[in-house]
Structures are given as structure tokens and as C-alpha cells.
Homo-oligomer: A and B are copies of this chain.
Amino acid sequence: MSRDRVPHLVVVGGGFAGLWATRALARERIRITLVDRRNHHLFQPLLYQVATAGLSAPDIAAPLRHILGHQRNVEVRLGEVVAIDKQARQVRMADGSTLDYDSLLLATGATHAYFGHDEWADDAPGLKTLDDAIALRRKLLLAFERAEAEPDPEKKAAWLSFAVVGGGPTGVELAGTLAEIARHTLRNEFRHIDPASAKVRLVEAGPRVLSTFPEVLSLKARRQLEKLGVEVMTGTPVSHIDGQGFKLGDQFVPARTVVWAAGVAASPLARTLDVPLDRAGRVQVQPDLTLPGHPELFVAGDLAALNQANGKPVPGVAPAAKQMGKYVADVIRARLHGKAAPGPFKYADFGNLATIGRMAAIVHLGKLQLSGVLAWWFWLAAHVFFLIGFRNRVVVLLNWAVAYWSYQRSARIIFGDDREDRRPKR
């Protein structure tokens, strides 16, 4: 059997959608090339823990080569895809090379978006990659250092003022954890500031935080945030951000540290497809996750926009991405075996969880609604369970256990960005 007769699937993106599709095809007679510009799969739901120094970067990432090392029909390629030529069935890479495909799965996910205010990017960094998380950790920890060193009380207060823009799950997690760090983790460590006096504000343009949850749970989340010491400001969009603070309408609020958790936009690769995109830049796919007229071209995960038969859009969450990935594998498998294609993709909603901070979370599973400590244990169990495939699950658990019982955060190490130190001094 000559190798070129085996059909070639190119998967772009080693996130939940791409990786789950690839793994589901392990036993099929198909050649798979998985392309990613990073060498690791990232467990994004815990990225905020790296940013807030609760976990270290390798705790929530695993090398793609390692995950797929024993799957012989897969080749992992480190590189950046810059364009798709869907007529020629060719993927173009940043280094000028190309990959021909028989089928293509595009799953490059989303990045953060500033809604036409890209000038805010420097002063309000977002959180999508490990590099973002390490940079944010550095920024948060240095703010307390600057406050400690600043003699002027007003400037000191501005360094101790933190704002998180966006009341979705990431914004809520960040604000809650920041309040915990200020109130507990840093206790006793400074001599010229009281870290507990830090202001942590969560700013949401809409009427409530965690708006995908029922209203009563949103309200409970808000109360839990306030109990942790977070000031929740809803109903007014941020109109300006700079290095000194932000504006809500005409009101200027001093805050040297602003974090962006307000918007995501699909990866820009979608634009090279030459197909209609939705407002967030996502590709409008057909019910089988392909493009019209291109049954060989699949889009899945956060890059795909799909309204299901029941009228509900598929949410941009990890379980949906995994399900889409597995669905694409099902369609490809059916084709390989000459069988009928499965019906349209249906998102199986197993519920919605959000963590808020130490022993605080909300859970919505059908009729079950939980909040507080019980919800938090539920959230913890679910997240540790889903770290499957990460051989450091035990380490993560241990780090968490220590962190939660001692209020300590093991990864409070500032590094990066001092390149001049790498040069020898003589």
C-alpha cells in the first residue's frame, strides 16, 4: 500500500478541538499533520491560576509531541499557518512551505479583542496564552512592589488599585483571586503598605456578571465577589484606558493595573478563508461544521460560529470544542469507511461552572443550581478530572491543596523581561 494513497488530514491548532479530533482518529487509516505555533496543548480553563501565581506554567500545559508521540499516524509540526487556499487545498506556512491536504480542520481558537481600541492593549493586557499569563503575573506582583517603594500616598494608592474589565468567567476568576492575594497571600510581607487595602474592581458593561448563568446565580456570584473584597461595577462600559487608570463614562478611576477580560475575537486566520464571518470574526459553519461547497474543510472550536437546530448558538467553552473535535473525527471516519455521515452537530450541555475565588463558585446543571463552598468543591473536582492527559495532575492537586490551606501561592516568582541581565557584565 503506497503511502500517498492514504488520505491526508491537516489539523491547524492543538487546542481542545484539534487535539480531540486527532486523538479520535488514532486507529484510522489516515495520515494526520497537526500544526501549532506552540509546542504545547494548554488547559486554558486554569490559565488564570498561572497569571495569579497559583500554578506554574508547565502544570497546565503538555507538549503536543508527547501527548501524540505514540499515535503513529500523526506528525506534529511546530509552525505558524498564515493562509488557507481552499481551492488548491493547500495550507501556507510562515516559513514559506506549504502542506497539501485532502481534509482540513481549522481550530485556531480565539484571541482577545479590544473592540476598536487596540491602543488599550499595552495598558490592559489580556489572558489567552502562557506568555500572557507570565506577563500578567509579573505585572500584578510588581504593582505591589511599586506601591511599597512609592512615598507619595496618592501614587501609592494608584499602584494598589486594580481593575479587571469584563464580568465573564475569566474576569470573575481574576478579580476574586486578586482580592484573595491582596487580603491573605501577601499579609505580613510588606512594611510600607497594607496589601489588604488594595482596591480590586470588576467592571462589566452589561447589567450583571456571568451573564450566561441564570440571574439568581449571577447575583450570588456578585455577593461572593463582594464578600471576597471585590467592588463590582456593572451597567457602564469602559470608555478609556491608559497607564494611570480608566474612565467609566466621564468618571476617571485611578488604577495602575488594568486587566482585559472583556472580549474575544476569532483567530485572524479565518479572514484568509474568503467566507462570511460573524461580528467576532468567527466562521459561520454548516450543521456538519464544514464550509458551504467544501465538505473537506472543517472549522471547530472557538473559531466556529454555529446556531443549532434549537436556535441556540454553541458556546465558546472547552466542552463544546472537544465535542466539535470528536464530531469532525466521526464525519471523517464515516467517509473513510463509506458509511452515512452522522447527523448535524449537537452540543450536549452538561452544565456550566464558574469559580470565583477561595471556596466560592457557582454551578448550573439543568435544574441543579449551587453556589458557595459546595459549588467550589464541585468545580475543583471537575477541573482536576478534566486535566486528564496531563501527567502532572497530582502535582497540580498538591499545589492547590497547599495553596488553599496555607493561602500561599507557590509560583510568586517574577521572571522574564529583564533581558539585559542575561548579558555578561564584563
Taking Cβ atoms with an 8 Å cutoff, the residues of A that contact B are: 37-40, 53, 56-59, 61, 63, 65-66, 69-70, 75-79, 95, 111-114, 118, 121, 125-126, 129-132, 134-135, 141, 145, 148-149, 186-191, 265, 267-268, 281, 391-392, 394-395, 398-399, 402, 406, 408, 410-416, 418-419, 421-426
Contact of A131 among B39, B406, B421 (CB under 8 A): B421
- Determine if B39 and A422 form an interchain contact, defined as CB atoms under 8 angstroms apart: no
Alpha-carbon distance between A414 and B76 when the two chains are bound, in angstroms: 15
Q: How far is the CB of A379 from chain B (nearest CB, A)?
A: 22
In the assembly, what is the distance between CA of A246 and CA of B391, in Å? 38
Q: Among B56, B113, B265, which residue has its beta carbon within 8 angstroms of that of A57? A: B56
Query: How far apart sit A148 and B97, CA to CA, in the bound complex (Å)?
Result: 14
Chain B residues with CB under 8 A of A61: 413
| A39: min CB distance to chain B, Å | 5
Determine how close the nearest CB of chain B comes to the CB of A3; give it in whole angstroms. Answer: 12
Which 8 pairs between the two chains have the least Cβ-Cβ distance?
A65-B189, A58-B411, A56-B56, A268-B425, A69-B189, A69-B188, A56-B58, A130-B415
Q: Which of B65, B70, B189, B395 contacts A190 (CB 8 A)?
A: B65
Cα(A72)–Cα(B422), bound, Å: 33
Report the Cα distance A111→B118, complex, angstroms: 40
CB distance from A71 to the nearest CB of B (A): 10
**A268 touches which one: B267, B399, B426 (CB < 8 A)?**
B426
A413-B281 in contact given A79-B149, A135-B422, A426-B268 (Cβ < 8 Å): no
Rounded to whole Å, the gap between the CB of A349 and the closest CB of chain B is: 29
List of B residues within 8 angstroms of A411 by Cβ: 57-58
Chain B positions within 8 Å of A38 at CB level: 414-415
Contact present for B113 and A424 (CB under 8 Å): yes
Partner of A39 from B58, B281, B413, B419 at Cβ < 8 Å: B413
Complex contacts, A76 vs chain B, CB 8 Å: 189
* Partner among B131, B141, B186, B415 whose Cβ is within 8 Å of the Cβ of A418: B131
Contacts of A135 in B (CB 8 A): 422
Contacts of A398 in B (CB 8 A): 394-395, 398
Question: Measured between C-beta atoms, what is the minimum distance from A76 to chain B in Å?
Answer: 8
- Besides A69-B189, A129-B422, 12 more A-B contacts (Cβ < 8 Å) are A39-B412, A40-B412, A56-B59, A57-B57, A57-B413, A57-B415, A63-B413, A65-B190, A79-B149, A112-B424, A129-B415, A129-B421
Given contacts A59-B56, A267-B425, A398-B398, contact A78 B410 (CB under 8 A): no
- Tell me which residues across on chain B come within 8 A of A58, comparing CB atoms: 53, 56, 410-413
Q: Which residue of chain B lies nearest to A70 when distances are taken between CB atoms in the complex?
A: B188
| Bound complex: CA A115 to CA B354 (Å) | 56
17 contacts across the A-B interface (CB closer than 8 A): A37-B418, A37-B421, A39-B145, A40-B412, A58-B411, A69-B188, A78-B145, A95-B149, A111-B424, A111-B425, A113-B426, A121-B423, A125-B422, A132-B422, A268-B425, A391-B406, A395-B399
On whether the beta carbons of B414 and A416 are closer than 8 Å, the reply is no
Give the CA-CA distance A38 to B75 in the complex, in Å: 41
Contacts of A265 in B (CB 8 A): 424-426
Q: Could you tell me if A191 and B75 are in contact, using CB atoms closer than 8 angstroms?
A: yes
Residue of chain B at shortest CB distance from A138: B39
Q: Which residues does chain B contribute within 8 Å of A281, judged by CB atoms?
A: 426
Which of B37, B57, B66, B126 is in CB contact (< 8 Å) with A408?
B66
Bound-complex Cα distance A149 to B423 (A) = 30
Q: Does A126 lie within 8 Å of B395, measured CB to CB? A: no
